[in-house]
Amino acid sequence: RRRGAAGGGGGRRVFLGGASARRGAGDDGVVGNQRLVVGGWRGDDGAGAGEDEGGLGEQGRRVERQEAFGRDWLCLTLVLPNFPGAISSLQRQLEFQESQLRRIKSEKEMLQKKLREQENQLQAMATKVPPRERGGHPCSELNGWISGSPQVVTEQESKLAEQNQLLSKLQETISQLRAEALSSRRRIREQQQAQEEIQSQVQTLQHRELQTRVALECITSRFERYRSKIIQATFSMAGSKPPQAEVTDEEVLEAMQKIINERTELHQLLKQKGIKVPSLHSIDTSTSSPASTKGRRKSPIR
């Protein structure tokens, strides 16, 4: 087999050539030779895998076996055109091997993707570590990184101090806002109390206004009654004409003044004739006293 591989055709092709050369010996011999060839190919692959284990990986050996099997199947299809059963079995084996090949390729791509991701992670980690000096020792590099770490520590401490200062400022702002909120709540409470007091005062004023309106209505009704009585007494005397329309206060006053003047003239005329008549003052007091007592009795409010 090694000699056939060195010749360029591979061990498998040498066996297949033998199978085609023995075809004239008979169909049974050819089929048997074909089976021996395939079996020998598989056995040789197992032996070859042991020999090539140091150079190729498992996946590489599988790919090589699949490619060799494809070449062998092509040769068999050319050599054995009159054996459809063997060809169909080989086709099935080829399809199975192709499916395995596709699966192996997908696994290979996945592994390559994972390898690239790991390389990217390693590069990212390498950027975080200080660069290695040429010709330097790893210990010296580590010592240099350790010697540079105090500067990093000071930077981190300064950042921490800034953060603490910012935090204290924020706490002061929060305390101020809380104080302002408390003062605003106090002002709102005071405004509510003042509003309640104002509402109570408004209610008191409304009550007083209602009382005043009631009293005013009573006074107005009394005034209208007195006015109607005065008008009735003024225009009900002999020789006076009753009013045809509404009488104003000026007309009532003029009529009363006219009656008073006529009464005074009559009183003086009677005195001049020697007739004894009482004085006007005594007559007024005697006539007004019963009316005043009656008015005091009927007064609703005093």
Nearest CA-CA partner of 73 in 10, 23, 16: 16
Cα distance between residue 205 and residue 250, in whole Å: 37
Answer whether 94's CB lies under 8 Å from 70's CB: yes
Inter-CA distances, 192 with 101, 172, 198, 204, 264, Å: 86, 30, 10, 18, 70
Cα distance between residue 225 and residue 233, in whole Å: 12
The CB-side HSE value for 16 (13 A sphere, CA atoms) comes to 20
Helix axes 249-272, 138-235, angle to 10 degrees: 30
Give the three-class secondary structure for 277: coil
Per-residue pLDDT tens digits of the chain, which is 302 residues long: 333 333 344 444 433 333 333 333 333 333 334 443 343 344 344 444 444 444 446 777 777 777 777 776 666 666 555 556 666 777 777 788 778 788 888 888 888 888 888 778 777 777 765 555 444 455 555 555 555 567 777 888 888 888 888 888 888 989 888 899 999 999 999 999 999 999 999 999 999 999 999 999 999 999 989 888 888 887 777 666 776 677 788 888 888 888 888 888 888 888 888 777 777 666 555 555 554 444 444 444 43
Cα distance between residue 40 and residue 18, in whole Å: 13
Answer whether 46's CB lies under 8 Å from 61's CB: no
Model confidence, pTM: 0.32
